[in-house]
Amino acid sequence: MDSVEKLRKEFKYWKHSPYFYQKHNYYESEWKDSYRMLVDSFTLSSSTFENALSKSLSYSSLWIMKLSPVGDAVPYSFKDLENMTLKFSRSQCLIHTMYDRLFADHQGNVAIKAWDFFVPQFPSYADHPDRFCNELEILTREDRDPCLMNLKGNFHLRPNFLAFNVSSVPCASNQFGWNARMKVATQLASLFAWFHERRYAFGTVRPKDIMIDNDFNIKVFDFGFLTPVTNEDNWGPLPYHAIREPPEARYGIQNLKADVYIFGILLVELIGNSYIGIEKKMAMHHWILRELQGEKKSIVNESILQDNDELPNGITDIAVKCLNEHPNERPDMVEVSTNLSNLVGAT
């Protein structure tokens, strides 16, 4: 962890400005044509920073510093990554995540995650370097959860990159049956609980951020945010987007109970296909209560599981509790994981 702490210290010293004010952050961004009005101010700021900081001997330390390997991760060069991704060709891009892109190695055995820095005026990008260090720490822990991607290498000069060993494909929740969905759900719950036991907020996770192998084992490679949580009342900017946010997100709260709500969304997406694409303007907790009006006790899609027994009712009950509008009334993820595993294992 010494290398991660060394890198974190450099980021903190420079307040991340050297990253954001490099011209290539604009020129290499695929969003550049959508933000033409920001070009002049951005390039002027970049030139100002470059001229001022290039005169400082300590400035160069961030760009020439040599890090010892972090865990088993191999320090890649930018040239290595360009060769692996055919210069980050769009044809090699597997997925666009919330802030990143996931590229496939042209040989097919490595996935490269690239943080997309673009224009420092966007506050949602300000914590990229911190998240990069947090992910390095998590992915190189001796007790790393098996549902996390296997880290193969990293690169921290210019935008940050992580490289993963892959034997999986992106997860699509409508492409597998009930038993597979339950395996994914229990693994996700266990992973959320693993993070919470180590006092990390997991953040927004979408199906597209999860890889799955032929045996329906998951590998998670991206998080909306990944941050240490010291108590249940942490405040800060949340990178949640639209329909996937818990109601307290409007107040800027990021805590473990917000993760429970996010898991509830993922669980609903696994057991009932009707929510996504139909009720885009309705918050999940309002939708699920509306669906369970009257005597209805389950939101499990009948095309997935047709038996109307205690299993779908029990899983629906878990989802309802996770999606409680009031954070303090939601269960913790260890309880959710235990109850879900017991319910699925008993059937």
In tens digits, the chain (347 residues) has pLDDT values of 678 888 888 777 766 666 666 666 666 666 666 666 666 677 777 777 767 666 665 555 555 666 677 777 888 888 888 888 888 888 888 887 777 788 888 877 788 888 776 555 555 666 777 888 888 888 888 899 999 988 888 887 666 778 887 655 555 545 678 888 899 999 999 999 999 999 888 877 878 788 888 788 998 888 877 888 766 555 555 544 444 678 887 776 667 888 999 999 889 888 876 544 445 556 778 888 888 887 788 888 777 776 657 788 899 999 999 999 998 999 999 999 999 999 988 65
Question: What is the model's pTM?
Answer: 0.84
What pLDDT, on the 0 to 100 scale, is given for residue 173? 47
Structure tokens at 100: 């990143």
Q: Return the ∠ at Cα 80 (arms to 164 and 45), rounded to 5°.
A: 95
CATH class (in words) of the domain with range 169-345:
mainly alpha
Structure tokens at 48: 């100002």
CA–centroid distance for 43 within its chain? 30
Instruction: Provide CB contacts within 8 A for 191, sequence distance 6+.
Output: 145, 147, 148, 202, 218, 220
Give the Cα separation of 305 and 285 in Å (integer): 23
Query: How do the domains of the chain map onto residue ranges?
Result: 2-165, 169-345
Find where tokens 């309002």 sit.
Answer: 286
CATH number of 2-165: 3.30.200.20
CB 202 within 8 Å of CB 223: yes
* Relative orientation angle of helices 333-345 and 256-271, to the nearest 10 degrees: 30
Give the Cα separation of 215 and 84 in Å (integer): 27
Q: State the first-to-last Cα distance of the chain, in angstroms, to the nearest integer.
A: 43
